[in-house]
């Protein structure tokens, strides 16, 4: 059970640890220590382009030890105080031991069990939609109602709104607090209209700072259906007081903590191998620093702004296998793809990511990031239905079979991975009133599903 007393002790360390500027942390501390640890554990140049899903669990175990070493060596930088929060190896292992292995979420027919999974686990992971992509305020209820009609969408995070009763939401102002409250109103209406009022919730989507969660989270969580707070840090092995404020609210209002930060291939940690080590360290620190119930540390390749290229798929599989094979911590990583709705590419690329995650032991995923999350209203219920069904079908896949399927899927989008099609917006490829996809979008989804069935993915 998360403790505000423990959190207070962690907060004290933001005042008395070693001091680094953000520039020193990013350009010296992380890269120098990652390189040293890769060399120490003989993990340099381990990426294999023919196995985008790692096949060697012993290698994943080596990466776990390297990630544990990194976490206990450098800690996490609090950017507000320019102080590293230091924790020992023993504190990390104790936090992992105390982390929950399962949560009962939701009510009634929508009650689900979120649990820790292992590589090649026969039980399917859970799917959470959608990924906080901005949508017009007047489309919120329609989109969410349509998306959650598919009961394989197990949890609701939802899109974000950038207006409140038509007024722009300005960051760091009371408008963000209002956005949290307004999102609650729209969320409740959509859940009721879809007949899923007992569905588990992960609010708040419509705020990047703590103001939205301060406004919206207390009204969401309740004893019979405790909500999961989204508490995201700025980057790998970095945190700030804004994120700690979210954690305080989540614990204080008896919610669950889902915290995390992204690791970047081509960023501070460098190579695919370096990003994997930093990602494992980041996962470990969520359970230690934030008392996370679920670690939400994703991994991207900044060179292509995607998590579905070979390097990112491999690194994500290594990081997931390292954690799932060596701990009972529950994990959630996001698949970042840049193709938009009403394209084959979004379905092929996302399925490659889903298979990689599921067979490597993930507990849940949240997504998809339609059109890279770059365009307002470029999100539809159909890709969520498709992904939820595909994710459920991943339970019981072997590492070898998964690698075979993913290699095929890569052939469908990899050549154009830097220039994926934008696709069409919700209004352009959906009937908003009937919540049915356009004939074009429906035909694309049917074609890709038939292709996946032929490759051995047993979608319903």
For 359-389, the pLDDT digits (tens) are 999 999 999 999 999 999 999 999 999 999 9
Give the pLDDT confidence score for residue 162 in this predicted structure: 96
Distance of CA 135 to the CA centre of its chain: 19
Per-residue pLDDT of 54-113, as tens digits, reads 999 999 999 999 999 999 999 999 999 999 999 999 999 999 999 999 999 999 999 999
Query: Given a cut of 80, is residue 220 above it in pLDDT?
Result: no
Give the pLDDT confidence score for residue 391 in this predicted structure: 97
d(CA 381, CA 95) in angstroms, rounded, equals: 38
pLDDT band at 154; cut points 50, 70, 90: very high
d(CA 423, CA 122) in angstroms, rounded, equals: 34
Question: With contact defined as beta carbons under 8 Å apart, do 430 and 437 qualify?
Answer: yes
Coil/strand/helix, residue 412: helix
Mean pLDDT across 31-44: 98
| CATH code for the structural domain at 102-116+127-336 | 3.20.20.460
Query: Given a cut of 90, is residue 354 above it in pLDDT?
Result: yes
Strand partners, 364: 126, 332
Give me the DSSP letters along 241-269. Answer: HHHHHHHHHHHHTT-EEEEE--EEETSTT
Mean pLDDT across 313-339: 97
Other CB atoms within a 10 A radius of the CB of residue 94 amount to 14
pLDDT band at 229; cut points 50, 70, 90: very high
Query: Given a cut of 90, is residue 231 above it in pLDDT?
Result: yes
Give the pLDDT confidence score for residue 207 in this predicted structure: 81
Closest CA to 180 of 124, 123, 227: 227
Average pLDDT across the chain, whole number: 96
pLDDT band at 221; cut points 50, 70, 90: confident
Mean pLDDT across 194-208: 93
d(CA 234, CA 262) in angstroms, rounded, equals: 8
Query: Given a cut of 80, is residue 1 above it in pLDDT?
Result: no
Strand partners, 326: none
Per-residue pLDDT of 251-310, as tens digits, reads 999 999 999 999 999 999 999 999 999 999 999 999 999 999 999 999 999 999 999 999
Mean pLDDT across 436-448: 98
Mean pLDDT across 433-455: 98
pLDDT band at 197; cut points 50, 70, 90: very high
Query: Given a cut of 90, is residue 218 above it in pLDDT?
Result: no
d(CA 264, CA 278) in angstroms, rounded, equals: 9
pTM assigned to the model: 0.97
Domain boundaries along the sequence of the chain: 102-116+127-336
Mean pLDDT across 30-35: 98
Give the pLDDT confidence score for residue 208 in this predicted structure: 81
pLDDT band at 460; cut points 50, 70, 90: confident
Between the CA of residue 308 and those of 249, 275, 367, what are the distances in Å?
Answer: 34, 15, 13
Coil/strand/helix, residue 307: coil
Query: Given a cut of 90, is residue 224 above it in pLDDT?
Result: no
Other CB atoms within a 10 A radius of the CB of residue 457 amount to 21
Q: Which residues contact 270 (CB under 8 A, 6 or more apart)?
A: 31, 34, 35
Give the pLDDT confidence score for residue 215 in this predicted structure: 87
């Amino acid at each position: 059970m998360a403790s505000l007393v423990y959190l207070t002790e962690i907060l004290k360390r933001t005042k008395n640890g070693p001091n680094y500027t953000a520039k020193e942390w990013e350009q010296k501390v992380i890269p120098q220590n990652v390189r040293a640890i890769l060399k120490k554990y003989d993990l340099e140049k381990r990426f294999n382009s023919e196995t985008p899903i790692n096949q060697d669990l012993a290698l994943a175990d080596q990466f776990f030890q390297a990630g544990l070493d990194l976490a206990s060596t450098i800690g996490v930088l609090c950017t507000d105080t320019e102080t590293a929060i230091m924790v020992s190896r023993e504190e990390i292992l104790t936090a992992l031991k105390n982390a929950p292995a399962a949560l009962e979420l939701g009510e009634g027919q929508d009650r689900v069990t979120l649990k820790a999974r292992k590589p090649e686990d026969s039980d399917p992971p859970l799917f959470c939609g959608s990924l906080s992509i901005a949508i017009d305020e007047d489309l919120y209820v329609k989109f969410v109602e349509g998306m959650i009609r598919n009961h394989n969408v197990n949890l609701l995070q939802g899109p974000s709104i950038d207006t409140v009763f038509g007024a722009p939401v300005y960051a760091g102002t009371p408008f963000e607090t209002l956005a949290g409250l307004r999102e609650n109103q729209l969320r409740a209406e959509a859940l009721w209209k879809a007949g899923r009022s007992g569905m588990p919730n992960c609010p708040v989507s419509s705020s990047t700072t703590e103001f939205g969660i301060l406004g919206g989270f207390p009204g969401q969580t309740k004893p019979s259906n405790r909500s999961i707070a989204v508490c995201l840090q700025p980057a790998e092995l970095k945190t700030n007081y804004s994120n700690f404020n979210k954690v305080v609210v989540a614990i204080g209002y008896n919610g669950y903590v889902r915290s995390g930060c992204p690791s970047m291939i081509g960023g501070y940690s460098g190579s695919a191998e370096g990003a994997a080590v930093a990602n494992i360290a980041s996962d470990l620190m969520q359970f230690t620093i934030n008392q996370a119930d679920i670690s939400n540390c994703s991994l991207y390749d900044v060179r292509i702004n995607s998590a579905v290229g070979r390097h990112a798929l491999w690194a994500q599989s290594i990081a997931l296998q390292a954690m799932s094979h060596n701990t009972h911590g529950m994990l959630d990583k996001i698949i970042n793809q840049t193709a938009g709705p009403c394209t084959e590419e979004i379905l092929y690329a996302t399925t490659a990511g889903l298979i990689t995650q599921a067979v490597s032991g993930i507990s849940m995923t949240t997504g998809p990031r339609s059109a890279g999350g770059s365009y307002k209203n470029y999100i539809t219920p159909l890709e969520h239905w498709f992904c939820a069904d595909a994710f459920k079908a991943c339970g019981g896949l072997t590492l070898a079979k998964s690698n075979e399927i993913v290699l095929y899927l890569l052939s469908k989008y990899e050549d154009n991975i830097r220039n994926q099609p934008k696709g069409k917006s919700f209004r352009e490829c959906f009937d908003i009133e009937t919540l049915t996809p356009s004939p074009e979008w429906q035909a694309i989804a049917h074609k890709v599903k038939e292709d996946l069935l032929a490759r051995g993915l047993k979608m319903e």
